[in-house]
Amino acid sequence: MMPPKTTLPPIDLTTRRPALGTLPSRAGLTDEEIETHSLRTGAAWGASQQIPAPAPAAPPPTRTARLGLIIPGYLDDQLREQSHRQRKSITALVMAALHQAGYQIDDADLVADKRRKT
Q: Can you give the residue ranges of every domain in the chain?
A: 73-109
- C-alpha distances in angstroms, 3 versus 6, 7, 9, 10? 9, 12, 18, 21
Residue 46 DSSP class: T
How many Å apart are CA 99 and CA 105, to the nearest integer? 6
Profile the chain (118 residues) by mean pLDDT over runs of 10 residues: 83 74 72 85 81 84 88 96 93 94 90 66
Report the Cα 80 to chain-centroid distance in Å: 31
Q: Do the Cβ atoms of 87 and 112 come closer than 8 Å?
A: yes
pLDDT for position 115: 65
Phi and psi at residue 80, to the nearest 5°? -65, -40
**What is the amino acid identity at position 42?**
G
pTM exceeds 0.75? no
Residue 101 is predicted with a pLDDT of 97
